[in-house]
Chain A
Amino acid sequence: MQIFTCPFCGPRDEREFHFAAEAGKTRPDTTGEVSAETWAAYLHAQRNDKGRTREVWMHLPCAELFLMERDSVTMEVYATHPLRKAPQ
């Protein structure tokens, strides 16, 4: 069982988290023409990187999305970062 560190709540059991998305994916601008290929890639194409990955996860109890850098082979977690902007 893995331990992930929520940037807001600290280290918690993996059962409290949900994978949200691979980091770096942007929603195509649907006000313009979006090809079927572009949309399919956005919906379904995952890089599934072997090794170091950057992913967005949600910590369900606090419902905050955050960025997690981890290794998909060794399961080592390198770092977690909040996605929200720093307080003004």
Chain B
Amino acid sequence: MTLRLPTGGLIDRSKPLRFTFDGKPHTGFEGDTIASALLASGTRILGRSFKYHRPRGLWGAWVDEPNAIMSVTLNGQTFPNCLATTTYLQDGMQARAVNAWPSARFDVKAGLDLFHRWFAAGFYYKTFMWPDWHLFEPMIRRMAGLGAVSPDHLDTYSSDQSHDRCDTIVIGGGPAGLAAAEAAAQAGQDVLLVEDHADLGGTAHQLADIEGIPTSDWITARHSAIQSAGGRILTHTTAFGIYDHGLVGLAQNGPFGTAPRLIRLRANRIILATGAIDRPLTFANNDRPGIMAVAAAAEYLARYATLPGRQIALLATTPQADTLAAQLTQAGANVTRVDPAQSPLSARGGKRLTALQAGDRTHPADTILASGGLTPLVHLWRHAGGKLDWCEHRNAFLPGTPPANMTATGAANGTFETDEALEHARATGAGTPTKRPDPKHHLTPHWPTPGSPGRQWIDFQHDVTLKDVELAARENYTSVEHLKRYTTLGMASDQGKTSNMPGLAAMAAIQGRPIPEIGTTTFRPPFVPVPIEMYRGAHSKQLWTPLKRLPLEPQHRASGAALGDYGGWLRPGWCGKGDPAEEAQSEALMARQTAAIFDASPLGKIEVIGPDAGAFVNFVYYNTIATLKPGRIRYGFMLTEGGAVFDDGVIARLDTNRFVISCSSSHVDAVRTHLEAWRQDGNDPDRIFIHDTTQHWATLTVTGPRARALLDTLDLDTDDMPHMSLRETAWNGTPLRLARVSFTGDTSFELSIRASHAPALWDALLTAAKPLDAGPIGIEALSILRAEKGFLMIGKDTDGETMPHDLGFTAPRLKKSTPFVGDRSLHTDKANAPDRKQLVGLTVPSGTPPLPTGAHLITDDTTPRSLGYVTSSYQSPTLGRPIALALLENGTDRMGDTITAWHLGKTRQATVSPPCALDPEGDRLDA
């Protein structure tokens, strides 16, 4: 039975579109939504309710629809949670009702409704407590939820983001919005008008004419006037939220299946013309399919030339209902007017309505159109911090004290009469302060009646009934915020657009308090669901955290090194092409036997310069730096003010007033910010200069017993260079900083050179290495070499509580006489506690595999407790056995003890040993 009228509406009858709903073929027209096409076809059941699986039809015609949620497949891609009322129909769509199987009409879980008495608010909290909620959770989770997300990631589903600004944004392209935008544009303002429908006009289409002009001509006239005055118009664009400092979030929708574009808009002035929605009446079985909002029926008739039904009971006394009754009658429907003041009211019939029972009268009906009055859409007003005033005449919350630079007009401002709304909107647009017009119609309220019989729905989408609200009140969840969370009223994807007002009115009636005293819950963005991809935009992978690149990347690529992300740098993990673990082993062995060349360019090179530089670094370092002589290097820690180790590395003194800090590769930006903060706080920033030169200098490390021999061939003089010293020299006519420091325990030199000269130096080193059976190594091998020596990596072998004395560096804590960052924190009860986790080594028998990194070290009690964990673990090719570092509670007192390591249910034994497993005497350093 088609409900489509032969003429009228905004649909294009020359363009039929085929689609299916729950597998059944249907036809609609260009301009239809899925909802309007199904309504026109006579389809009544478009979904099932969340909890009771009750059959549900259409209540609304746009964003306020709570029931018709569908999974829609187009071109092989399925998108869940599409609102049928806002999804424009496209040819070939396959729509399926969510929360229903096999179809919305025959749902196997419909029987759940028979048990509704047990499913009242708080049912889950009260029922599934014993023995453990987690026992029931998987089953309940399977039964709950709306729609299923496809596990396949759609690479094509990505959003653009843009920034925009204007003098005045008008939100809402209905009569008031059009009039306001026109007036603002003609007053010389840069205007942006946004409308969430694909076309302009809003509720104007329900009227035959406006200001004596046929409606479509009137809309066209406004449209041209706005554009010729320089205004811009965005349709199919939703203002979904207003954020701090007046940022307006706009979601610009494209064709179905594409992610909306996010526009972050700043406007000097925001005019809200978002209109109003109908609120439901609360009566027995008011959720039956075929019970629709008066405003929705008016939209279906005007936009889609579709009747809501043939035999209509019109349950409303508003002026909008009067207009609609005449239009429906003229269109051939049989309309009976029923006063909602009669009681009791109840809907008769199951999947198909048969009658409206009002008092002792039965009105046969296949459709009930209901309205409890109009609720202005004040969501954005509240996002921006505007206040609401209760209006007794309109029985609604209206915009009150405004947020900065915002005005509401039209139905959003409580003006439901077109002419008055247009006058107010024009004055608002022109910037003339105008009083809100007095209402012509005083609404007779029809709020929920506590204690009245039957199941009466408050929240359709989350299946909250009047009885649930009464139960919540009895159990003392009387504040609206508690009521919301206890019953989940207003927490569905429609965010209570239809349910919040009846819900708080019910609570007011139960408590005998006025509605404004009960108040509303918090309005939060987004106004409609928006995809999370929209917030992400292009910010993923390399565009979210761009990798830092080495000057020698072309050389590494050419040689076939395995480049990977290490601490934000793209750098060689290993250099050979074989099995990664074997390559790392053989590279580490080569470094111990001959020499190795390592690209250490990511090492931080932050210069601290100036007359106060010496005192400054002495203050930011745990170690005493003041006594460091020019040309010498010292290893040390920077701490947080809380005493935790923040970074480690060497600091070189180039000159009395010039230092270079070699901080951790992955930590350069953080260290620079840390230094800047202290430089400017408590110091004279004009006497200290901090310059991050990390990217300007490449650093190549040469390490191993043949390191000196290798450098000799480059004519780099290393004579009289003791360990921890630095020399500023030159190579190939270019300044070169030669530092003798070691992260491997062998004789090592760091050669720092201007980045542009790095390829030449790299090639020269490789050429010189060949005859020595030396060569390049990656960071995987270096990690083994340093772990053999017990040298730590910050953040890997330390955590947020590690203090320097936990790592064996105790002297400055006890002896340093000048203040330093974190000093006092090293003497708290916590810092002195006997159970601190300390860095230790772990030894397992040779021939066994290395301990798993992250394995917990546990007590041997019947209920074991974690004493710490393995932080680094490798096979040592030089020692021929596994080595490991760990943070262990009271570790230094456990040397030689056997301890149990637990990992994924398996345990192993290890012996606690000093962190340094290789050459503890340090003989190799000067070999």
Residues in B neighbouring A75, C-beta threshold 8 A: 244-245
Scan B103-114; emit 1 where CB is below 8 A from any A CB, else 0. Answer: 000000000000
Q: How long is the Cα–Cα vector from A36 to B824 in the complex, in angstroms?
A: 9
Q: Please determine whether A3 and B245 come into contact, CB atoms closer than 8 angstroms.
A: yes
Q: A36-B828, A84-B685 are in contact. Are A30 and B680 (CB under 8 A)?
A: no
Q: Please determine whether A27 and B682 come into contact, CB atoms closer than 8 angstroms.
A: yes
Residues in A neighbouring B686, C-beta threshold 8 A: 84-85
Closest CB in chain A relative to B781 CB, distance in Å: 35
Candidates B243, B385, B677, B824; contact of A74 at CB < 8 Å: B385
Q: How long is the Cα–Cα vector from A63 to B669 in the complex, in angstroms?
A: 11
Count of A residues near B, CB < 8 Å?
28
Q: How long is the Cα–Cα vector from A55 to B402 in the complex, in angstroms?
A: 28
Q: Please determine whether B819 and A30 come into contact, CB atoms closer than 8 angstroms.
A: yes
- B681 located at the interface, meaning its Cβ lies under 8 Å from any Cβ of chain A in the complex: yes
Residues in A neighbouring B685, C-beta threshold 8 A: 84
- A65 located at the interface, meaning its Cβ lies under 8 Å from any Cβ of chain B in the complex: yes
Q: Please determine whether B680 and A65 come into contact, CB atoms closer than 8 angstroms.
A: yes
Q: Please determine whether B245 and A39 come into contact, CB atoms closer than 8 angstroms.
A: no
From B673, B681, B685, B818, name the one whose CB has the most chain A CB atoms within 10 angstroms: B681
Q: Please determine whether B676 and A58 come into contact, CB atoms closer than 8 angstroms.
A: yes
Q: How long is the Cα–Cα vector from A84 to B687 in the complex, in angstroms?
A: 12
Q: Please determine whether A63 and B672 come into contact, CB atoms closer than 8 angstroms.
A: yes
Q: Please determine whether A28 and B243 come into contact, CB atoms closer than 8 angstroms.
A: no
Q: Please determine whether A30 and B681 come into contact, CB atoms closer than 8 angstroms.
A: no
Nearest-CB residue, chain B, relative to A88: B686
Q: A2-B245, A75-B245 are in contact. Are A20 and B819 (CB under 8 A)?
A: no
Closest CB in chain B relative to A45 CB, distance in Å: 13
Chain B: number of interface residues, binned into ranges = 20 to 34
- B825 located at the interface, meaning its Cβ lies under 8 Å from any Cβ of chain A in the complex: yes
Q: A63-B676, A65-B680 are in contact. Are A1 and B825 (CB under 8 A)?
A: no
Scan B802-841; emit 1 where CB is below 8 A from any A CB, else 0. Answer: 0000000000000000110001110011000000000000
Scan A13-35; emit 1 where CB is below 8 A from any B CB, else 0. Answer: 01000101100000111110010
Residues in A neighbouring B829, C-beta threshold 8 A: 36
Candidates B247, B641, B673, B819; contact of A43 at CB < 8 Å: B641
Scan B593-629; emit 1 where CB is below 8 A from any A CB, else 0. Answer: 0000000000000000000000000000000000000
Q: Please determine whether A65 and B677 come into contact, CB atoms closer than 8 angstroms.
A: yes
Closest CB in chain A relative to B419 CB, distance in Å: 37
Residues in A neighbouring B672, C-beta threshold 8 A: 63
Q: How long is the Cα–Cα vector from A56 to B771 in the complex, in angstroms?
A: 59
Scan B621-660; emit 1 where CB is below 8 A from any A CB, else 0. Answer: 0000000000000000000011000000000000000000
- A83 located at the interface, meaning its Cβ lies under 8 Å from any Cβ of chain B in the complex: yes
Nearest-CB residue, chain A, relative to B823: A30
- A64 located at the interface, meaning its Cβ lies under 8 Å from any Cβ of chain B in the complex: yes
Q: How long is the Cα–Cα vector from A43 to B677 in the complex, in angstroms?
A: 16
Q: Please determine whether A1 and B244 come into contact, CB atoms closer than 8 angstroms.
A: yes
Candidates A3, A43, A83; contact of B680 at CB < 8 Å: A83
- B351 located at the interface, meaning its Cβ lies under 8 Å from any Cβ of chain A in the complex: no
Q: How long is the Cα–Cα vector from A3 to B685 in the complex, in angstroms?
A: 26
Q: A39-B828, A75-B245 are in contact. Are A63 and B673 (CB under 8 A)?
A: yes
- B903 located at the interface, meaning its Cβ lies under 8 Å from any Cβ of chain A in the complex: no
Q: Closest 10 CB pairs between A and B?
A: A63-B676, A30-B819, A65-B680, A2-B244, A75-B244, A1-B247, A39-B824, A2-B245, A30-B823, A30-B824
**Residues in chain B within 8 A of chain A (CB atoms):** 243-245, 247, 264, 266, 385, 641-642, 672-673, 676-677, 680-682, 685-686, 818-819, 823-825, 828-829
